[in-house]
Amino acid sequence: MAPEALYQELVQLAREEALLGSVAATLEWDTETYLPPGGVENRGRQMAILAGLLHERAVDPRRAELLEALAGSSLCADPAAVEAVNVRELRKGYERERKVPRELVEELAEETTVASAAWAEARGRRSFAAFAPHLERVVALKRAEAECLAAGGDAYDALLDDHEEGLSMARLDAIVTPLRAGLAALLDRIQGARRPPAPLGGGDYPVAAQRSLATWLAERMGFDGARGRLDAAVHPFTTGLGPGDCRITARWDPTDLSVGLFAVMHEVGHGLYEQGLDPSQWGLPAGEQVSDGLDESQARLWENVVGRSPAFWRFLWPELAARFPALAGADAGAVHRAMNRVEPSFIRVSADEVTYHLHIAVRIDLERSLLRGELRVNDLPAAWAEAYRSTLGIVPPDDTLGCLQDGHWAAGLIGYFASYTLGDVYAAELTRAAERTLGSLEPAFGRGDLAPLRSWLTEHIHRHGCRFGPIELVARATGALPSAASLLARLERVVEGTIA
Amino acid sequence: MAPEALYQELVQLAREEALLGSVAATLEWDTETYLPPGGVENRGRQMAILAGLLHERAVDPRRAELLEALAGSSLCADPAAVEAVNVRELRKGYERERKVPRELVEELAEETTVASAAWAEARGRRSFAAFAPHLERVVALKRAEAECLAAGGDAYDALLDDHEEGLSMARLDAIVTPLRAGLAALLDRIQGARRPPAPLGGGDYPVAAQRSLATWLAERMGFDGARGRLDAAVHPFTTGLGPGDCRITARWDPTDLSVGLFAVMHEVGHGLYEQGLDPSQWGLPAGEQVSDGLDESQARLWENVVGRSPAFWRFLWPELAARFPALAGADAGAVHRAMNRVEPSFIRVSADEVTYHLHIAVRIDLERSLLRGELRVNDLPAAWAEAYRSTLGIVPPDDTLGCLQDGHWAAGLIGYFASYTLGDVYAAELTRAAERTLGSLEPAFGRGDLAPLRSWLTEHIHRHGCRFGPIELVARATGALPSAASLLARLERVVEGTIA
């Protein structure tokens, strides 16, 4: 058979798997948005059967034959050609999948579904005890999976690599050690400095009005509502359910406008990446997000670089004032300064940009200890409290403000948190590179014109799919290997704004 | 192998298929509630791949072996034993499935998904032309399917039987011919009679308040909200997505309270049947609705026998008056009479109980002609107008009030409409039988106490699953074969109420 015919067969196999994957993603979305409590158990079984079918396709021996035959073929001679990219990346996927037994894949799918629902309920009831047995099982299953993937190497490194190709604890340290040193210095500087007043909390912001603002804002940011939608979820997330169907979720707090506002900008950032992918390559690596770190870079960039900039805030303010009577008489500049206040707090997703990475550091340390069995699940609340005390100088009053705040571990996302810090590192580098080409973004932000930035990101990041690895993709977009320097420079400006 | 072991293997195969079926049902629900327009095409492909996987399981040769071995075994000696019921009904399902080729099953799943979305859009735009090519394809595919099922017999009969086992045009005529004669006589009687004033239309009924009423009403009717939920859909429907997850949908009109009110009572009727099934038999025929006619009987019973009764209305009125200021000063009795007014109208779902069956008659005639190729799809609007003129004496001013009002044909539900008339026939018989045991239901309705009726229905209908065929099930519950007599007696009382 000609390589072209083999390639078409491979594409068809991959797309069929992607289609089934999009079925599973639809059910996952439903689980987090609308599933009634009584349906959780069956949902777990549904996820298990789908995971099994997906695994079966992923390790199909015919796929291995096709990959083998194509790897050395003329179609893959140019490594940057889309065919070569897809063959290379599908091969990695095949190698990954066949390391993990089908039963484990099915168990993980079922258990993480049930555990996620248990987490949401336990969080509502502020009861870690109700969640602990579920987390115990998820950690055990993730350990088993990590050992399969590590094949003798370090289990936690295997999970880091699973989210960000090439990442290990050593490589992560090389980026975050200077970052943390810089953060410590910044925090020292603001000790005792005058704090601006409280941000957008304590007001009366009807959820219906916040949802309507969210729809307006998503459209303004360039999210195509005809090819996606926006719903509520306990833990906001974004997911692509197939070409033309990108689902964003957010959480709204009727007393604090900032919670929903930044959740929406964050998730729309993910959504713009999804909607910016090459539709002709849907279901293939060339049409997929390259890594979780890059995905978070897009989310954090829109949330922080755009959402917290003084210029965009000046644009947004009249819109907010018109929609929320509670803001009457408030001063836009004062609210903006308050919103960017740097101060240790309990909740990661509403933390300021500086302390945010200390929240991440706590999670990385703890999840690594859990995975290695050095920390028992039952001891997690105490370990969490101690880590917050030593890292941020505060102790959460209950587990909802502590170790129950994130749904990641319940969902099996151990090794994921590093993506947020990497995301901010990438986002700062990408912003600097975009400004080198486009000039300062502030004037456009001030007009609410976000198209130039969005187009630049689509051209330099979204459209490439998995054509390059994450580090190489960023390096190509910026002209240099990513480091923490740009992020630290940005955070320094944030802190100066706070003190001033 | 012992029959018990074979039976367990069969149960496992059937439940795996049911589990995948519940995945497909979840996607169908999403298609009708939340799917963005851009996702329709991929959704069609998702439905096709799932339909293919389901078909593959349904015709699995191992299933045939098990069914064969079990049919003559000791386990099936007592035909009323649950094992015998499941073997018998699974065998029917197997025989049905293997008549239809996999490609046709997949095409139907894809095309009906896309056509349903096209229908909803065309309905909104009042443009039959936009929908016609889709309907053309669905009719052609349904004709192909019907010919497979009919195996040389009448194609339309095969579709009737597919929804109601044992039904044919001849058997349907035996029930509906006396019914239609009775209806004609009733309509003659009210010609020229004084009409009560307009019902609950033309007011201001905020949708949020209607949704809150719907939740209250569903709970009052005994629907378990922890094992289900309520959403909005263009064409209301109810679906079971697995044990503990029954989804109801409704449509609300901000100017007409009756639209949402009766849609909710109808759909909750379906939901109570779903929630009343034997959970230990989930995924097996003994734990499934026996036929679409019985399913509609439950819906129509709650909508009409309960919802339109004077006693329940007296109970409901203070609740309505408290929730909707637009009702201030209205007289409960007058509104009730207006609500039950008998008068030809365009829309089936809001038709009075008497003319309702003429709407159904029009659809049965037209869909049969479409299936037989005697009526071309492009000629449907004209044929519809002519049928309404000759049957109800009115001509719809546009296709949204005409042949675009129902989503059934787009969804491939040709042969389904008979279920509504059968449902009313069954409902009237069941009501009479329930009252023989429980005494008049009116006093309990007047207190809003719906538990006695619900329990009676659960005991005599819901819990039996497919243990008996639909006619036998009704006959066992009522003591006689169902006929149109009870329904005609009921409609006579409705008309008398109108004239009085």
SS3 state at B46 = helix
A448 touches chain B (CB under 8 A): no
Q: What is the ipTM of this complex?
A: 0.94
Nearest 5°: phi and psi at A228? 180, -175
**Among the listed residues B363, B425, B467, B438, the one whose alpha carbon sits nearest the alpha carbon of residue B182:** B425
Residue given tokens 């579920």 in the structure block: A134
Which chain B residues are within 8 Å of A46, Cβ to Cβ? 19, 22-23, 26, 242
Name the band, by pLDDT with cuts 50, 70 and 90, for residue B500.
very low
Burial of A373 (0-12, 13-18, 19+ CB in 10 A): exposed
Q: What mean pLDDT do residues B145-166 have?
A: 97
The span from the CA of B336 to the CA of B352, in Å, is: 12
The span from the CA of B136 to the CA of B114, in Å, is: 13
Q: What mean pLDDT do residues B299-325 have?
A: 96
- Looking at residue A457, what DSSP letter applies? H
Torsion of CA A58, A62, A63, A64, to 10 degrees: 100
- Looking at residue B232, what DSSP letter applies? E
**C-beta atoms of A39 and B224 within 8 A:** no
Q: Give just the sign of the alpha carbon dihedral B287, B288, B290, B293.
A: positive
B145 part of the active site: no
Phi-psi region of B252 (alpha: psi -120 to 50; beta: other; left: phi over 0): beta
B202 has a pLDDT exceeding 90: no
Residues whose CB is less than 8 angstroms from the CB of residue A200 and which lie 6 or more positions away in sequence, other chains included: A256, A257, A258, A261, A335, A338, A339
Beta-carbon contacts below 8 Å between A and B: 110
Condensed to tens digits (0 to 9), the pLDDT of residues A344-362 reads 999 999 899 999 999 999 9
Pair B463, B278: CB distance under 8 Å:
yes
B38 touches chain A (CB under 8 A): yes
At residue A500, the pLDDT reads 41
- Looking at residue B71, what DSSP letter applies? H
Q: How many CB atoms lie within 10 A of CB B346?
A: 18
Q: Choose the closest CB to B245 out of A38, A231, A244.
A: A38
At residue B498, the pLDDT reads 62
B197 has a pLDDT exceeding 70: no
The full DSSP string for B198-213 is P-S-SS---HHHHHHH
- In order of A117, A182, B494, the CA distances from A187 in angstroms are 37, 9, 78
Condensed to tens digits (0 to 9), the pLDDT of residues B394-450 reads 999 999 999 999 999 999 999 999 999 999 999 999 999 999 999 999 999 999 999
Q: Find, in chain B, the residue whose alpha carbon is nearest to that of A47.
A: B23
**C-beta atoms of B38 and A228 within 8 A:** yes
B219 touches chain A (CB under 8 A): no
**C-beta atoms of B243 and A42 within 8 A:** yes
Edge-first strand order for the sheet with B228-232 is B228-232, B246-250, B238-240
Which chain B residues are within 8 Å of A43, Cβ to Cβ? 242, 245
Residue given tokens 């595919």 in the structure block: B141
DSSP β-bridge partners for residue B239: B247
Half-sphere exposure of A479 (CA within 13 A, CB side): 6
At residue B203, the pLDDT reads 84
The span from the CA of B348 to the CA of A75, in Å, is: 60
Pair A364, A164: CB distance under 8 Å:
no
Pair B208, A207: CB distance under 8 Å:
no
At residue A198, the pLDDT reads 57
Which chain A residues are within 8 Å of B121, Cβ to Cβ? none
B242 touches chain A (CB under 8 A): yes
Q: Find, in chain A, the residue whose alpha carbon is nearest to that of B37.
A: A226
**Among the listed residues A472, A473, A485, A357, the one whose alpha carbon sits nearest the alpha carbon of residue A429:** A485
DSSP β-bridge partners for residue A377: none
Q: Choose the closest CB to B35 out of A19, A41, A245.
A: A245
Pair A422, A297: CB distance under 8 Å:
yes
DSSP β-bridge partners for residue A228: A246
At residue A57, the pLDDT reads 97
Exactly one of A267, A274, A288, A353 is catalytic; name it.
Answer: A267
Task: Round to the nearest angstrom and report the end-to-end CA distance of chain B.
Answer: 70
Pair B285, B465: CB distance under 8 Å:
yes
Give pTM, 2 decimals.
0.95
Task: Give the pair of three-digit tokens for residue B74.
Answer: 């000791």
Phi-psi region of A126 (alpha: psi -120 to 50; beta: other; left: phi over 0): left
The span from the CA of A67 to the CA of A73, in Å, is: 10
**C-beta atoms of A245 and B36 within 8 A:** yes
B122 has a pLDDT exceeding 80: yes
Edge-first strand order for the sheet with A228-232 is A228-232, A246-250, A238-240
Provide the residue type at A240 as one letter.
G
Q: Which residues 114-173 of A have a C-beta within 8 angstroms of B?
A: none
**Among the listed residues A307, A299, A305, the one whose alpha carbon sits nearest the alpha carbon of residue A261:** A307
**C-beta atoms of B244 and A34 within 8 A:** no
Condensed to tens digits (0 to 9), the pLDDT of residues B177-189 reads 999 999 989 988 8
**Among the listed residues B476, B495, B492, the one whose alpha carbon sits nearest the alpha carbon of residue B484:** B492
The alpha carbon of residue B43 is apart from the nearest alpha carbon of chain A, in Å, by 8
The alpha carbon of residue B276 is apart from the nearest alpha carbon of chain A, in Å, by 14
Q: What mean pLDDT do residues B287-313 have?
A: 97
- In order of B316, B337, B449, the CA distances from B445 in angstroms are 10, 17, 6
Exactly one of B89, B107, B110, B267 is catalytic; name it.
Answer: B267
Say what percent of chain B tops pLDDT 90: 90
Task: Give the pair of three-digit tokens for residue B136.
Answer: 């053309």
| Average pLDDT of chain B to the nearest whole number | 95
Pair B369, B383: CB distance under 8 Å:
yes
Task: Give the pair of three-digit tokens for residue A429.
Answer: 């580098």
Residues in chain B: 500
Name the band, by pLDDT with cuts 50, 70 and 90, for residue B28.
very high
Residues of chain A with pLDDT under 70: 192-201, 498-500
Task: Give the pair of three-digit tokens for residue A204.
Answer: 């009366």
Domains and CATH numbers, chain A: 3-153 (no CATH), 170-499 (1.10.1370.30)
Q: Choose the closest CB to A36 out of B30, B38, B228.
A: B228
Provide the residue type at A198 as one letter.
A
